[in-house]
Structure 1
Amino acid sequence: MSTHHHRPSSSLKQSNKTFKSRHTTKGALRDAAKGRTPRTSPKPSSQPIANSANSLRANRRNIAKQIQASKRQTMLDSKRLYATGQKGLSRLVTVISLTPDIDCQAVVKKLAEVVGEEIIDGKLNTPRFKTSIEFLFPSSSFHATLSSLPVSDFLLLLLSPEVEADEAGETLMRTMQSLGVPNVVGVVAPSTAGGNFTPGKKLKEITKSLLSFTQYFVPSLTRLFDLSSASDSDALNALRALCEPTPSQTQIGWRVGRAYAVAETLSFESHNDGEEGEKGRLAITGLVRGAALDPNRLVHVAGWGDYQVDKILSAPSLTAKNPSNPSIDTEEPIILAEPTPSSASSLVSFNAPSLTDELAKEQTWPEEDEMQQNNNGMDSEMGSEIPDAPVGTTPRRIKRVPKGMSEYQASWIVDSDGEDDDEGSEAEDGIAEGDKIDKEEMAVDHDPDDDETEEIETGGEKYNTYIRDQKQKDNNMSTHLNFPDELDTPLETPAQTRFARYRGLRSVRTSPWDPYENLPEEYGKIFSWDSKGDMRAKEWKKSETRLRKRVEKGWEEGVSGGVEPGTRVTIVLKNVPRSVFMHYRSASMPPIPLSLFSLHPHEHKQTVLNFTVSRNTEYEGSVRSKDPLILLVGPRKLRVNPIYSSFESGNPPPNNVHKFERYLLHNSTAGAQGSKNKDGTNTKVGGTNTYMATIYGPVVFSAGGGKVPCVLLKESELKDAADPGPSLRPPSTPILVASGTFHSPSTTRIIAKRVILTGHPFKVHKKTATVRYMFFNADDVSYFSPIQLYTKHGRTGHIKESLGTHGYFKAHFDGPVSQMDTVCMALYKRVYPKWSRG
């Protein structure tokens, strides 16, 4: 008798297909498809399945062959471009030494002697390698070295076996590492110090140590060539490393898709005979490098600004004349390209406001009799002329400059008595128009938070005054680390007047804030890529993607749109000051010739630029917002006063409000206090190493993919007199403050400056506390009563009522409050950057 089973047999058990969820996102699918050829779907047909599969396989093979042939052709064209011939480009090699005991000219001469050639005007023709080399010697100038790298194909780095690299050499290496360098060839050159160094085993150990030092900054460097030995094998190999490889255009990413040139000869044609300050046409003769040179695009002359192209003329080749046609080099130049009026880029960098916007500003026009009295110097009340000031009673000229600024840096600030102080000055932030507050009293009252500016006499003070004030500046930074954003309420000025421009936010991340509210006049002059609610700069990214596709399409289809690279031309620029020509014509010729770069569309327009930057770990000085710095980004060098704010990578706040940072700090949590506040901010300072630096400036694109690198430099100051040691930094070498990349040009990014008012709960009863020292009159308590309170121990509350006339108030919290706690109120206002000098 068969037994009965309640469960079915195992043969009838259903087995479902497992769900394969390996590639569930677009990013994972894109990563999995890297390196594969795109698969084309065939049109529906009535052919058998086998024939369709064969056709798909054939299509994939044909596409792979076409891509391979295209890459080979690109490589051949690049090699032919630098080959010796009538249109061959010379390889630009920048020669730098990290120590002063190396003779750069002697090292290059030894490389030429290996192949039996001579260097004429810095150029070396090597028939053995079928190419030519042009050497650039920026000497020991820091800025000249950085100016020569963007136009160079190779970097010849000379190291000394006897003298270590000093602080200036390490700063140069760190700066080049941040900005990007071309192909690097390292050489251990013989020293001219005349020491007792003996080659041998010790030299191998030193070479190994130098290679380790260099690979920290240039990881792609695999070996160093020793030129101090008697053998010429390493010298020949070093020259081969400069001649045989094809120069890579992707080492400096922002240079991809741009045409650039190095001037061989210059000539200036004035519009009419006049003084040196007038403008005219500057003719620059040189070889077109990089991409095709479009006459419709603006060009940037390094260190001198942007200009329009008048025309591009042909220039005779520097190679030997053609025996069959001797007049080929003596013919008149022809016009190769001219700008099209409808397509040429204009020099408009600011957005001119309309007449309606100008008339919308309210103002009272004076009457004719008032204007007449003003012209005659008559006083409207007294009816008499204003007497001249007696001799000797003219007040001294006072200039407001950032505290700790050197006398050299103070000269950058424009001395204008009619302009308002910058937004960083806390002492005048709350003064509304029409308030009857004496300016002299405001200058006397010292606000603990108003240490961004100070009054100095520009005529008689010495620089050691700033050296003595440096300790006070460091103390202010230490106070900020221990008590971030905390400020004492002034006794003389009402808090509602002092903080009239501030507002309270329940949460700095979620509370709404209109980005177009109360914008300054500067925002009416700049251009914007933002749309309302565009926090991730989508419009900007779309513009950059379209530019990148246009460049790639031009490479694939061979569309030039200008003068091809490798052509020797004469570029005529219009409306160029004569001072540019006179600078390079002077007897003391600069170490680096003039160089120019073509600009992409819209790169001359001014907007709000945001950079993600990180502090240099080797620099221990304090860096405050709006301190004068030098910004190197792309082909430009700008003098800027950036403001810093928090950077939330991958998790931006929904309201696009970011906290203003008074200092650019290191990646350290020393002195950090507390945790997450009730207002959505974090009291911990120094917990991140990446900040957002914001300035006004011309926009920059990257057509080669990736981001445009940038560095922030600070002019080196005088050494402290109390330090008896020798200065290791030359006066011309700046300090590397921070490095990073260009993020986006966003005008809707709100940078909110926070001020925390603190009070003491001197009477506590469960959840209710009596708070003092936050305000000093009853009107201020009533004015700020809608704003939420919080404590450093995590309690939140609000003001219930005012007590008396001295600013005491009763507050209620969501939990018991201790007398050891501190009651805080956070106030915010939007701040804006300062105009850069360019």
Structure 2
Amino acid sequence: MSTTGHRAGSFKKPAKIHKSWKGKRTKGEINDANRGREGVKEIVRGSRASRSISKDVRRQQSRQIRAAKMQAVFQKRRSSDAPVVVTVLSLGNGASAGEFVSKVLKSDETVVRTQGHRSIHAAVSRFKSRLCFLTPSQQMMDDVLDSVKICDILCVLWPLDGNISDWDNLLLSLVKANGIPKVVNVVPGLSMIPAKKREEMRKNIESHIANWSLNATGISLADSPTDGIQFLRSLIETKKKPLSLQTYHPYMYVEKLDVRDRTDETCTLVASGYLRGPEWNANHLVHIPGFGDFQINHIAKAQDPHPLKAGGKPMEELEKIAQPIPQKQQQLQVEIVPDDLNAEQTWPTQEELNAVEKEKRRVPKGTSSYQATWIINDEDEDDDEDDEDEEDSEEEMDGDFAPEEEMEETEEVEMEKSVFGDSESIFAGDMDDDIDMQEVEKYRRERENAQFPDEVDTPIDVPARVQFQQYRGLKSFRTSEWDVKENLPLNYARIFQIANFKRTKKQVLKHLNEDDDDAVVDSQYNGVFANVHIANVPVSIAEAFNEDSTLVLFQLLPHEQRMSVMNMVLRRHPTCTVPLTSHQKFIFYVGFRSFTAEALFSQHTSGDKFKMERFMPTDGPFVATVFAPITFPPASVLVFRLDDHGRQELVATGSVLDNNPDRVVLKRIVLSGHPFKINRRAVVVRYMFFNREDIEWFKPIELYTPSGRRGHIREPLGTHGHMKCRFDQQLNAMDSVMLNLYKRVFPTWTYTLFDKNTAKPSRIAERDSKTSTILVNRMEE
């Protein structure tokens, strides 16, 4: 009888691997190996004292922490006595904003309604809170943007059918690109629809809302008195989502504007309104949109014209709550005034002086040696004229492209039709009958640049080494070095540059409210009605403010009044199909600022050098560079252009990238040649240059072909521009030989403030007022 031993099955767990080091290391060796790192269990469990606390004590501690957080939220809400600002924006043919607000306020009989400057104030004693409704006209784009920038809640009124016009779509895209706070969607009259159609219409409207990706997809009801009261409560109790502009910048919606201490040119402007945002600082500057930055004289508390309980005293100043400190008050220095005498001076050497003395100069008889030094030879005059001609020809080469030699008549007709179809915007009315040949030429140049990027023709009558003397070749666009301080224009001596922009921004936001107590408004005055006295303001600003204008004040952060080079990441708006070139003047809405400037376009890529874009790209992000005051991101950017009728057309949206004058933007030109003879890798190329000296001059620069071949110039052949080249692989007869040249380009100093009051308003199709009145009557019934 034979026996067999036990055999382990397939599910047997293998033995643990023996750890030879366990128990052999000392605590010091373990600590040295860990280098200060702690175990996960120690971090999670905490100290031994915390583990000894019982479960009931830990539950009580968590309850106290939760109660403290809730108390902090309530205290913050009580400390901000300012009314909740609600911007009502009506879309389509629905109820108008003013009629909707009146209907909602009538739902509660205890609401006390008062009229403000282009606003409706409501004191809701039922909820012990106040509301401020702004109802900007949807035809006035600037008023809509200003109202959205300062509001706490954006109430969007959608039509019953959910269909909105092209202007409403553009307006929503503007609001979304500018930044939106908490959104509440309302469909007036939805509850009046029969139940069978109501659900279908609700789903249809919600699908339209979802397409816009707003931060709220639900629909609120405000038709019946009960719904109206619940709607008011939701506006007060809902959690607010302030914009970054409201988080970092104190701001004020001006209810009243007075003039004091008036002289012939300047005055003291007294702006009355609620103090919103962070604590106001009297040392910081205040920005008046369209007019510039000014210093604050002092801030004084005033009587609230819209109290929660009626029976207040007449409006008057009560006490000063903030006063600037002269030593710490920010100055109005916008730019640096360069000293022309402080430039780099070089003393001529003895060899240079001897060379000048030996130079023969032809001067008239009887001319002294002193007079002869100031006489210019004819050769020098010819050289100067040649330089001017070279500059003029270079500008022509930079801006213009050679049109095609032959074009069929049908293509010309289609091109002219596309020009007039694309240039017509939703702002424009009737088109002009005259043909704008500049626009036609711009379309042609854009098309040629897309087919042959950056290609230019080598001039025949001017040597290429002279025509392109400002350009240089790069072995590698990504790795080759370029000195950022080389050959800077004079305007760069007028701007400010922050050494470490990210660190400076972090420090400014961290120490936002840590200045002297006499200059910073105490937190107990957050949201109070106050008078801001602005010193040395031109009288024209006070005269421009009227009943139909909206004025919003924003306070600047440190360094934001100083000029620098601003870089913005933009995307072209789909509604803009007109070709737009670099160095073209645009209207920029950057944060709370609006100004005009000529933008320099470049690619948005990684690296330390960026290629210039001759035309605004149609797809993908790009960077626009302008001279503008420093603005700390995040800040939204809206770009407009003026059409043929002087009206604004949206062309791009985006945000601020940084403020960096060291951004190197390189303009590229491509010289092309044609393979004349091909013998394996040896190729004879012609038509790239037209003389022997140019070939010797550009010989060190690498050549390439569209198919990916790389090569170099070996030697010139003859005197008519033929050259012998050698490539890494054999070329195709259909290939072209290319040579890249680069030079650094800079933005143009054309910064000017843009005043929306002087701009020509856009002509929009009028609303159907009859349909709106009928819908409101149905709601009241």
> TM-score normalized by structure 2?
0.75
> Match for 2:333 among 348, 366, 372?
348
* Closer, same or farther: CA 474–226 of 1 in aligned 2, 3 Å: farther
SS in 1 for 2:733: coil
Q: By how many angstroms is 1:55 displaced?
A: 8.2
Render the CA deviation track for 1:98-155: whole Å, top value 9, x for unaligned.
Answer: 2366422211110111112464312222222222222222212011100111111111
Does the alignment pair 1:209 with 2:213?
no
State the alpha-carbon separation in 2 of the partners of residues 178 and 303 from structure 1. Answer: 21
Amino acid at match of 2:277: G
Q: Secondary structure at the match of 2:449?
A: helix
After the TM superposition, which residues 325-336 of structure 1 pair with which residues of structure 2 at under 5 Å, given as runs? 333-336=318-321
Match of residue 164 from structure 1: 163
Show the 5 A alignment for 1:367-406: none
Hey, what does 1:696 align to over in structure 2?
627
Equivalent residues in 2 for 1:447-526, closer than 5 Å:
447=396, 449-451=398-400, 467-526=436-495
How far 1:94 moved relative to its partner?
1.6
1:304 corresponds in structure 2 to 291
**What amino acid is the match of 1:619?**
C
Q: Distance in 1 between matches of 2:684 and 2:602?
A: 35
Task: Give the alignment partner of residue 237 of structure 2, picking from 229, 239, 244.
Answer: 244
CA contact (8 A) 1:298 1:345 kept: yes
CA distance in 1, matches of 2:340, 2:42: 56
Distance across 2 between alignment mates of 1:332 and 1:52: 55
CA distance in 1, matches of 2:151, 2:42: 34
52 and 247 in structure 1: CA distance in 2 versus 1, 3 angstrom threshold: closer
Tell whether 2:405 aligns with 1:436. no
User: Who is 1:787 aligned against?
Assistant: 701
Q: In the TM superposition, what is the alpha-carbon distance from 1:71 to its structure 2 partner?
A: 3.2
| 1:714 corresponding residue in structure 2 | 641
Matched, 1:659 2:620: no
Q: Secondary structure at the match of 2:470?
A: coil
One of 509, 518, 527 as aligned partner of 2:496 = 527
Q: 1:785 to 1:625 in 2, by over 3 A?
A: same
In structure 2, which of residues 687, 691, 704 is the aligned counterpart of residue 777 of structure 1? Answer: 691
Assess if the C-alpha contact under 8 Å between 1:254 and 1:701 holds in 2: no
Cα distance in 2, alignment partners of residues 248 and 315 from structure 1: 28
Q: Structure 2 matches for 1:249-328, cutoff 5 A?
A: 249=242, 252-272=243-263, 274=264, 278-318=265-305
Q: Is the 8 A contact 1:101 1:163 kept in 2?
A: no
- How much does 1:248 deviate? 3.2
Spell out the pairing of 1:120-135 with structure 2 (5 A cutoff). Answer: 120-121=114-115, 122-135=120-133
Contact 2:300 2:322 in 1 (8 A): yes
Q: Percent identity?
A: 29
Q: For 2:731, what is the secondary structure of its paired residue?
A: coil
- Post-superposition Cα deviations, 1:195-240, rounded to whole Å, max 9, x if no partner, equal xx9755445433332222223334321322355x6x4444333333
- 1:510 and 1:96 map into 2 onto residues whose CA distance is 51
1:323, 1:219 → 2: CA distance? 38
Alignment correspondent of 1:590: 548
CA apart distance, 1:62: 10
One-letter amino acid of the counterpart of residue 564, structure 2:
T
1:355 shift after superposition: 6.1
Cα displacement (A) at 1:595: 1.1
Report how far residue 179 of structure 1 moved: 1.8
Measure the CA separation in 2 of the matches of 1:217 and 1:323. 42
Structure 2 CA distance for aligned equivalents of residues 134 and 612 of structure 1 = 35
Offset, 1:64: 6.7
Q: Distance in 2 between matches of 1:62 and 1:514?
A: 64
Amino acid at match of 2:220: F
Match of 2:26 in 1: none
Asked if residue 184 in structure 1 is aligned to residue 99 in structure 2, the reply is no
Counterparts of 2:310 and 2:602, CA distance in 1: 66
SS of the residue 1:628 aligns to: strand
Q: Does structure 1 conserve the Cα–Cα contact (< 8 Å) formed by 2:600 and 2:626?
A: yes
The match for 1:79 among 67, 77, 80 is 77
> How many Å separate the matches in 1 of 2:173 and 2:42?
39
Q: Quote how far apart the aligned CAs of 1:606 are.
A: 1.0
SS in 1 for 2:672: strand
User: Which has the higher mean CA deviation after the structures are superposed, 439-448 or 560-569?
Assistant: 439-448
Distance 2:261 2:16 in 1: 98
Alpha carbons 1:293, 1:564 under 8 Å: kept: no
Distance 1:441 1:320, change over 3 A: closer
Deviation at 1:469, TM superposition (A): 3.8
- Report if aligned partners of 2:484, 2:662 keep a CA contact under 8 Å in 1: yes
Q: What is the match of residue 769 of structure 2?
A: none
Change beyond 3 A, Cα 1:471–1:58: farther
Q: Which secondary structure state, in structure 1, belongs to the residue aligned with residue 511 of structure 2? A: helix
Equivalent pair of 2:303/2:317 in contact (CA under 8 Å):
no
Q: In the alignment, what sits opposite 1:224?
A: 219
1:716-765 residue CA offsets vs partner (Å, 9 max, x unmatched): 445xxxxxxxxxxxx85x43322222221112111111111000011122
SS where residue 273 of structure 2 aligns? strand
Q: Which segment drifts farther, 807-816 or 825-834?
A: 807-816
Amino acid aligned to 2:618: H
- Partner Cα distance (1:433, 1:832) in 2: 29
Q: Deviations over 1:542-568 (max 9, x none)?
A: 1122233334989xxxx9668831222
Shift of 1:776: 1.8
Number of the residue aligned with 1:620: 577
> What's 2:591 paired with?
634
Q: Matches of 2:201 and 2:42 in 1, distance apart?
A: 48
In structure 2, what residue type is equivalent to 1:339? P
Q: Are residues 1:91 and 2:84 paired? A: yes
Q: CA deviation at 1:451?
A: 3.2
- Listed as ranges, the gaps of 5+ residues in structure 2 are 1-13, 23-36, 348-363, 365-380, 403-430, 754-781
Contact 1:98 1:158 survives alignment (8 Å): yes
Alignment correspondent of 2:18: 14
- Matched residue, 1:47: none
Distance 1:493 1:233, change over 3 A: farther
Matches of 1:582 and 1:132, distance apart in 2: 31
Does 2:704 align with 1:743? no
2:210 maps to amino acid: Q
The CA deviation at 1:166 is 1.4
Aligned AA for 1:576? V
Change (3 A) 1:553 1:136: same
Counterpart amino acid of 1:220?
Answer: N
Alignment: residue pair count: 656
**What is the deviation of 1:243?**
2.6
- Change beyond 3 A, Cα 1:561–1:626: farther
- 2:600 aligned partner: 643
If each structure's helix is expressed as a fraction of its own residues, which one has the higher value?
2
C-alpha contact (below 8 Å) 1:161/1:190 kept by paired residues: yes
State the 1:348 CA deviation: 0.9
State which of 100, 104, 109 in structure 2 corresponds to 1:111. Answer: 104
Write the distance in 1 (CA, Å) between the matches of 2:636 and 2:503.
Answer: 20
Residues 756, 825 of structure 1: 8 Å contact kept:
yes
SS in 2 for 1:829: strand
Q: Deviations over 1:75-114 (max 9, x none)?
A: 11232245xxxxx311222222223664222111101111
The Cα of 1:437 is off from its aligned counterpart by 3.5
Q: Structure 1: 5+ residue runs without aligned partners?
A: 1-9, 19-28, 43-49, 83-87, 192-196, 363-380, 382-431, 454-461, 531-538, 668-688, 719-730
- Answering whether residue 495 of structure 2 is matched by residue 564 of structure 1, we say no
2:268–2:534 Cα contact (<8 Å) kept: yes
Aligned to 2:678: 764
Out of 136, 147, 151, the position equivalent to 1:138 is 136
Cα displacement (A) at 1:816: 2.0
Contact 2:123/2:308 (<8 A) preserved: no
Q: Which amino acid aligns with 1:436?
A: E
Letter of the 1:336 partner, please give it.
I
RMSD: 4.0
2:729 maps to which of 807, 811, 815: 815
Alignment of 1:3-42 (within 5 A): 14=18
Shift of 1:463: 6.4
Q: Secondary structure at the match of 1:289?
A: coil
